[in-house]
């Protein structure tokens, strides 16, 4: 396994470089930190640095030095699916879907859980914790179990049944919380300071976020280092968006790709603090939000990461948009019917936003667009079709088949 080329934790505000310890903000200005790597080595060695399959193929650009800490359930290496029929329905020239449902726990979170729990091992922690609407909770719980660590998972009371079952099965300690994500996060984040557990939240931990950067590396590698013109990424707190944008920037700096894609931030209309600020050209105003079917996007106050997303959008001439719950559910059905891809509402919000931006002529349809589909549909809770079955004999079955397939 290749060594990590991580060199520092650098403040995104003041540029101060810190050593690679467990640290959640800049000592000098309290700004957020991001990992920086030996770009010269990346330039010199090129993609030959990469070995093996899955997420840890990208170990040189991840911050876990010791192979013994590289916990894995087989995450990453997810398909990039060319979807010509859906592209034609949406009216874009070419549509690629980065389908992250086929990760071990069914979501993109497995990428960040691998590096978060890897970092927990690296820094000698015995317990992890996270506040979750469902996906992060079961993913962190699963990776903690795999690493032999305890986990304390705070799960949203409206999480779907499959998500709750999944969390209960994998965590050592499940606590159901009442109220919205944002409220609990703000007090939970204060406990992080006391170091009672390793921070597996999305707000500040650069080690955790880093795993999601592999989305950019995979998309670039799967397109022969000629990435799509546009990449649509979901934004709750902003982890997936920021990590993907940074991955592409790193790839361009390393000279592995010639040009970074234009980034689009996708939100649910019911939790659209970032998209709203982007449209209005203002700073972010935190929102008091309720339920959205895109459960994983239900953050009304994205905090400092929201500001970071906004800055990346403005610097990179990106776009932001949001979609209503009914558009998201219609997109879920369409994706399943037209391409056979069963993804959850959180996962298809990107596609619903893409459809809107194209319809509003905000996005040039003569481009290659990639949307990140962040979760499987298997965690969806909805009324199943009636289980009232029919018994058949040969004649009645034959009648039905000829009728239905006429």
Instruction: Give the pair of three-digit tokens for residue 390.
Output: 């029919």
Neighbours of 390 (CB within 10 A): 7
**Position among 22, 123, 225, 342 found at the interface with a copy of itself (CB under 8 A):** 342
Is residue 197 part of the contact set for a copy of itself (CB under 8 A)?
yes
Residues 320, 274: Cα–Cα separation, whole Å: 8
- What is the separation of C-alpha 70 from the centre of its chain, rounded to a whole number of angstroms? 19
Binding mask 29-48 for a copy of itself (x = CB under 8 A): --------------------
Question: Minimum distance between the CB of residue 361 and a copy of itself, rounded to whole angstroms?
Answer: 29
Question: Minimum distance between the CB of residue 72 and a copy of itself, rounded to whole angstroms?
Answer: 7
**Position among 4, 10, 103, 115 found at the interface with a copy of itself (CB under 8 A):** 103
Q: Which long-range contacts (CB under 8 A, 24 or more apart) does 386-394 make?
A: none
C-alpha distances in Å from residue 33, one per residue of 55, 199, 265, 343, 365: 22, 14, 21, 32, 36
Question: Minimum distance between the CB of residue 28 and a copy of itself, rounded to whole angstroms?
Answer: 27
- Per CB under 8 A, which of residues 348..377 are in contact with a copy of itself? 376-377
- Per CB under 8 A, which of residues 112..151 are in contact with a copy of itself? 127, 129, 138, 141-148, 150
Binding mask 156-195 for a copy of itself (x = CB under 8 A): xxxx-xx-xxx-xxx-xxxxxxxx----x--xx-xx--x-
C-alpha distances in Å from residue 262, one per residue of 94, 183, 318, 371: 15, 33, 6, 12
- CA atoms in the 13 A half-sphere facing the CB of 32: 18
Question: Minimum distance between the CB of residue 291 and a copy of itself, rounded to whole angstroms?
Answer: 13
**Position among 1, 16, 81, 287 found at the interface with a copy of itself (CB under 8 A):** 81
Is residue 85 part of the contact set for a copy of itself (CB under 8 A)?
yes
Question: Minimum distance between the CB of residue 180 and a copy of itself, rounded to whole angstroms?
Answer: 10
Which is nearer to a copy of itself, 80 or 358 (by Cβ)? 80
Is residue 224 part of the contact set for a copy of itself (CB under 8 A)?
no
Residues 25, 32: Cα–Cα separation, whole Å: 5
Which is nearer to a copy of itself, 45 or 183 (by Cβ)? 183
In degrees, to the nearest 5, what angle opens at C-alpha 42 toward C-alphas 45 and 99?
110
**Phi/psi of residue 265, each to 5°?**
-95, 125
Which is nearer to a copy of itself, 17 or 196 (by Cβ)? 196
Residues 55, 34: Cα–Cα separation, whole Å: 19
Closest CA to 20 of 191, 147, 206, 199: 206
- Identify which range of 42-50, 97-105, 252-260, 281-289 contacts a copy of itself by CB under 8 A: 97-105
Is residue 391 part of the contact set for a copy of itself (CB under 8 A)?
yes
**Phi/psi of residue 66, each to 5°?**
-90, 120
Is residue 399 part of the contact set for a copy of itself (CB under 8 A)?
no
Which is nearer to a copy of itself, 21 or 390 (by Cβ)? 390
Instruction: Give the pair of three-digit tokens for residue 53.
Output: 């399959």
Which is nearer to a copy of itself, 124 or 179 (by Cβ)? 179
Which is nearer to a copy of itself, 227 or 377 (by Cβ)? 377
**Position among 244, 269, 332, 350 found at the interface with a copy of itself (CB under 8 A):** 332
**Position among 60, 106, 300, 318 found at the interface with a copy of itself (CB under 8 A):** 106
Burial class of 224 by CB neighbour count within 10 A (0 to 12, 13 to 18, 19+): exposed
3-class DSSP state of 282: coil
């Amino acid at each position: 396994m290749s060594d990590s080329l991580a060199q520092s934790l650098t403040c995104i505000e003041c540029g101060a470089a810190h050593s690679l310890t467990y640290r959640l903000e800049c000592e000098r200005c309290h700004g957020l930190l991001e990992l920086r790597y030996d770009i010269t080595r990346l330039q010199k060695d090129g993609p030959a640095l990469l070995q093996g399959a899955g997420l840890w193929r990208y170990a040189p650009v991840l911050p876990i030095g010791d192979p013994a800490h590289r916990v894995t359930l087989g995450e990453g290496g997810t398909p990039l699916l060319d979807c010509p029929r859906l592209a034609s329905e949406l009216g874009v020239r070419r549509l690629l879907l980065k389908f992250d449902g086929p990760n071990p726990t069914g979501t993109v979170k497995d990428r960040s859980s691998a590096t978060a729990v890897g970092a927990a091992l690296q820094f000698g922690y015995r317990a992890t914790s996270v506040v979750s609407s469902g996906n992060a909770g079961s993913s962190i719980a699963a990776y903690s179990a795999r690493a032999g660590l305890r986990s304390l998972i705070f799960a949203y009371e409206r999480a779907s049944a499959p998500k709750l079952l999944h969390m209960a099965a994998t965590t050592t300690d499940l606590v159901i919380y009442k109220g919205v994500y944002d409220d609990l996060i703000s007090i939970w984040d204060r406990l992080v300071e006391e170091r009672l557990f390793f921070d597996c939240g999305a707000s500040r931990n650069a080690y955790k976020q880093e795993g999601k950067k592999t989305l950019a590396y995979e998309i670039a590698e799967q397109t022969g280092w000629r990435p799509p013109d546009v990449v649509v990424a979901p934004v709750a707190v902003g982890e997936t968006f920021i990590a993907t944008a940074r991955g592409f920037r790193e790839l361009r700096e390393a000279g592995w790709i010639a040009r970074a894609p234009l980034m689009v931030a996708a939100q649910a209309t019911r939790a659209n603090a970032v998209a709203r600020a982007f449209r209005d050209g203002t700073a972010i105003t935190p929102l008091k939000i309720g339920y959205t079917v895109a459960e994983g996007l239900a953050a009304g106050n994205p905090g400092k990461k929201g500001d970071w997303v906004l800055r990346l959008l403005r610097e990179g001439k990106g776009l932001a948009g949001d979609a209503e719950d009914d558009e998201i559910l219609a997109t879920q059905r369409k994706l399943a019917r037209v391409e056979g891809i069963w993804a959850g509402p959180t996962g298809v919000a990107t596609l619903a936003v893409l459809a809107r931006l194209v319809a509003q002529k905000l996005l040039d349809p003569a481009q290659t667009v990639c949307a990140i589909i962040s979760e499987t549909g298997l965690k969806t809770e909805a009324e199943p079709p009636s289980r009232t079955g029919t018994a058949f004999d040969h004649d009645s079955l034959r009648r039905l088949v000829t009728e239905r397939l006429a």
